[in-house]
Structure 1
Amino acid sequence: MEFIMRNTQLLSKIATNDGHGEKSPYFDGWKAYDSDPFSPRTNPCGVIQMGLAENQLSFDLIQQWVVNHPRASICTAEGSKDFKEIAIFQDYHGLPEFRNAIAKFMEKVRGDRVTFDPDRIVMAGGATGAHEMLAFCLADPGEAFLVPTPYYPGFDRDLRWRTGVELVPVICDSSNNFKITQRALEAAYDKAKESNIKVKGLLITNPSNPLGTILDRETLTNLVTFTDEKNIHLVCDEIYAATVFNKPSFVSIAEIIKQTNCNRDLIHIVYSLSKDMGFPGFRVGIVYSYNDAVVNCARKMSSFGLVSTQTQLLIASMLSDESFLEKFIAESGERLATRHNTFTRGLEQVGIGSLKSNAGLFFWMDLRRLLNEPTVEAEMKLWRIIINEVKLNVSPGSSFHCSEPGWFRVCFANMDDETMMVALRRIRNFVLKAKELEVASKKHCRRSNLQLSLSFRRLDDIMMTPRISPHSPIASSPLVRAT
């Protein structure tokens, strides 16, 4: 302990403070998975990772394209002739063909209703790097961004840790399906002013993480009006733009400002290929700003988190293949819709609802009725049972700054069909067992609320109930039928 304390004193305050946010249950769930990862063959009772918003459902299409286009890589016999040209120093503006391809792709996933200037595209190390870059450009330490709740826990790290920028929650709730209202915006803005915090911008995610919903035109127009009147920036995270799998269609902020008389210098878009294409490992993040000064500043900062030129070359080639992109976007949407429907309908059969959603790689599961009281403490108690007994890493709403305990984000696109069915079986059996305990509790204790403090059997025992066997054939899909 003395050694750790002495060593810590040698480090900077930024390096050793709690700004990274690792103490959040959002990250604790990942640690639980890392220490006991599920494997259908070698560890069938391990933790299933449902806290990672990753799109693996259409990866076979990507792999096939790579096989069919060996020249796109400098590490193949066909592409090696470009090795020297790509491997040597490149301007940190990015390869022209890369920026052109990214601009065209951004247009395509927005229905070709808007155009993007390749010269306004600035590279970053994923959306994480893009958000931090914008925070550095737009705000000084101690200044703040308004962020509607619930919001992605990583924002506490991405925007705050090294920049010193603050985040002020805009409280949204389930009474109107967590829509952003003018009243909530004004309340958050006034609260910041009362605390002597200067608000520099509003950060929104569209489609929403964790809700899986999209913002409609009216809401987006109101947000532009609000930021225009306050003379603050509007940062729009649109990294899930191509994951919309049902109507209504996605509307980009780029469409709104095209039809609105506003100060475009205040509008900035964050984009990446991590979600839409399933490339988180490529670290392709994008800042697209309508403000010339921001573009120039961000471009200087981008030298700290560039995308490798080898990756740029491969991406440029792939995104220039229009027939492939048409097929990929359509097929990805269909697969996401199928997986989303299978999961949410399977939960509905045991009385578990979720917020109606049509986008993203997750849904917002409602377990409020399983709480013994409407508190964060009760939510965490339930979450620990789900992690330790049910062996699922789903993320509690409190880690997303949700104002209502009992909501959980469930990621559904980062696993194969077999794992998905095991996860669904586990949730369903847990809920069915909880119902049995609720009935027993009412009968013997005359209590109206489910007592989650009752003694639960281990998951292995729950799974061996006659109702559903954990070894039942996956192909028969017993979980999507009423039990």
Structure 2
Amino acid sequence: MTLTDTTSTPQPGTKVLTEKSINKHVKAVEYAVRGRIAIRAEALREELAAGEKKPFQTVVNCNIGNPQQLHQKPITFFRQVASLCEYPDLLQDQNQAAVSQIYPQDAIDRAKELLKQVGSIGAYSHSQGIPSIRRTVANFLQQRDATEQPGNPNDIYLTQGASDGVKTILTVLTESSQTGIMIPIPQYPLYSATLSFIDATPVPYYLDEEQGWSLDIAQLTATIQKARQEDHVDVRALVIINPGNPTGQCLSQQTLTDLLTFCYDQRLVLLADEVYQTNIYKSDRPFVSFRKALLEHPSADVRNHVELVSFHSISKGMIGECGRRGGYFECINIQQSVRDQIYKMASVSLCPNVHGQILVDLMCNPPKEGDLSYPAYQAEVSGIFESLRRRAQKLEAVFNAMEGVSCQSAQGAMYLFPTITLPAKAIQHAQQLGISPDDFYCEQLLEATGVCVVPGSGFGQVKGTYHLRTTFLPEEHLFDEFCGNVQRFHTSFLQQYKD
């Protein structure tokens, strides 16, 4: 008898939940940024804490874009407002004299205004998100894109980080296992993991590494034609991550226009992951949103018919409030009946967490010139940004100076994705261990240096190539040491496995 045999007599004392009996789609999910190597990194951290001797003194988590884990300072104004909302008794009249010694007046005023709209942050909010915060997002979208058309709060859904919104939309899109979603390779594994869980079909298209991880419309066309005509996949959506994760490219407005035309011609929903929109390091390649490109598209048919869902988050940029889990998505040209179903799905979870919603409000409406807190806010944001840019350039140069390593520039985001030419002996050894060669390389890097990165196989890559993804988030005063550890390991690894 098996536990899934419902016709047999139950056997008391046997387990209902076993690896064999659970949902097969759960077992199919893989999420490399928190996978085997990241789990080993946590074990090493515990071993260090227990006094075990290692070749390093600390574990450096470069496997995930988690800025504050690596000691990026929170934005002061945001934390001031959030703390006042968390403990509103501080805003009572009898506490005004004491509180005003600690908090600037504009932070106090902002917290009072938010609490008027929010009520208690311990209460459920509207399932789509607090209406006043959705209005703030709508105003931000119009100002960011410099468009005449205002944002519509009813098109905006506040979420528990962008990831939750992505999962909701992919779930709504999926009708059957033959539903296809075009995803980039390399891709952020949220997409492949979610498609595995909901039993949809990923339709991969490849970014061109030699051309700065660029997109090719001809390749997209060939990919979708093969999927539809030969594989009989019902391809419904195109995922674009811009700026790219893990690849760091930033697309031009012309490329966005061409992609929107492609989606119109091929009848696709466009899913625009834009969470790194403020992490832009090249002045000649500014961020342009798909929303702006759609509203300014020369074709009225495209403007009026392409279905666009855009995602943003408080976790990235200079904010880095990953743990607060705040984000939003905006729907354009989505039927009202479908939006009603999206709302129903949101209501099943009652509401996104209110702490995250408050940070979305602050992200979309930060201190402005003339505000009391603006000078400090601007100094903090500029300082973080310039430091990230310096670290990106330094790490890129380090990789490109390493034997057998080639690394494209980071135009945006917070990652580098170098390609690594591995010795044949290392590849053979990895195969004997039953793991991918880049997985083996990253594992050895962790054991030797404490640096935790993610093998390129976790994101997808051209067959026969090997990559790793690393953030450039380690603190700047420790960055030379970090880079030196990676360089020394690489030299030692090549020497150990040289042909």
Q: How would you bin the TM-score normalised by the shorter chain?
A: 0.7 to 0.9
Alpha-carbon distance between aligned partners in 2 of 1:315 and 1:231, rounded to the nearest angstrom: 32
Secondary structure of 1:241's partner? coil
| Cα deviation, residue 401, structure 1 | 0.9
Correspondence for 2:432: none
Q: Does 1:353 align with 2:406?
A: yes
**1:420 is the counterpart of 2:479:** yes
Q: CA deviation digits over 1:245-270, x for unaligned, max 9?
A: 22211111112112212044411112
SS in 2 for 1:21: coil
For the 8 Å contact 1:144–1:197, the answer to whether it is kept is: yes
Greater shift, 354-363 or 326-335, is seen at 326-335
User: 263, 278, 283: which one pairs with 2:325?
Assistant: 283
Q: What letter is aligned with 2:326?
A: V
Alignment partners' CA distance in 1, 2:425 and 2:150: 51
The structural deviation recorded for 1:54 is 2.1
Asked if residue 309 in structure 1 is aligned to residue 345 in structure 2, the reply is no
1:51 equivalent to 2:63? Answer: yes
Per-residue CA shift, 1:261-312, capped at 9, x if unaligned? 2044411112211112212212113121102434332222112443223443
5+ long unaligned stretches in structure 2: 4-12, 93-110, 369-373, 429-434
Moved more, 92-101 or 3-12: 3-12
For residues 394-405 of structure 1, what are the structure 2 equivalents within 5 Å? Answer: 394-404=453-463, 405=465
Whether 2:395 is the aligned partner of 1:343: answer: yes
| Structure 2 partner of 1:321 | 366
Paired with 1:389 and 1:144, the residues of 2 have a C-alpha distance of 41
- 2:309 maps to 268
Question: Does the 8 Å contact 2:212/2:249 carry over to 1?
Answer: no
DSSP 3-state at the match of 1:36? helix
Shift of 1:363: 0.9
Cα distance in 1 for residues equivalent to 2:217 and 2:277: 24
Matches within 5 A, 1:45-444: 45-56=57-68, 59-63=72-76, 65-67=78-80, 71-74=84-87, 77-78=90-91, 82=115, 85-107=120-142, 115-142=150-177, 143-161=179-197, 163-193=198-228, 194-247=230-283, 248-260=285-297, 261=299, 262=302, 263-276=304-317, 277-290=319-332, 291-293=334-336, 294-305=338-349, 306-313=351-358, 315-317=360-362, 319-323=364-368, 324=374, 329-351=381-403, 352-368=405-421, 377-404=436-463, 405-413=465-473, 415-434=474-493, 436=495
Q: Tell me the matched-pair count.
A: 436
Matched position secondary structure for 2:261: helix
Instruction: Identify which range, 52-61 or 352-361, moves more after superposition.
Output: 52-61
% identical aligned pairs: 18
* Kept after mapping to 1: 8 A contact 2:242/2:277: yes
Q: Distance in 2 between matches of 1:327 and 1:69?
A: 20
Q: Distance in 1 between matches of 2:74 and 2:453?
A: 28
Alignment match, 1:465: none
Would the aligned equivalents of 2:176 and 2:200 in 1 still touch at CA under 8 Å?
yes
Does residue 7 of structure 1 match 2:17?
Answer: yes
**Distance (Å, rounded) in 2 between the aligned partners of 1:225 and 1:121:** 24
Pair 1:435–1:232, CA change in 2 (3 A): closer
CA 1:125/1:141 → structure 2, altered by over 3 Å: closer, same or farther? farther
Distance 1:231 1:302, change over 3 A: same
348-357 or 102-111, larger mean C-alpha shift: 102-111
d(CA) in 1 for partners of 2:461 and 2:121? 46
**Contact persistence 2:250–2:287 (CA under 8 A):** yes
In the TM superposition, residue 73 of structure 1 has moved relative to its aligned partner by 3.4
Q: Distance in 1 between matches of 2:15 and 2:203?
A: 32
Deviation for aligned residue 1:428: 1.0
Greater mean deviation of Cα atoms: 338-347 or 51-60: 51-60
Q: Residue type matched to 1:157 in 2?
A: A
Give the 3 Å change call, closer, same or farther, for CA 365–5 of structure 1 in structure 2. Answer: farther
Post-superposition shift, 1:130? 0.5
Compared CA separation, residues 164 and 285, structure 1 to 2 (3 A)? farther
Structure 1 unpaired stretches of 5+: 439-449, 452-483
1:18 aligns with 2:9: no
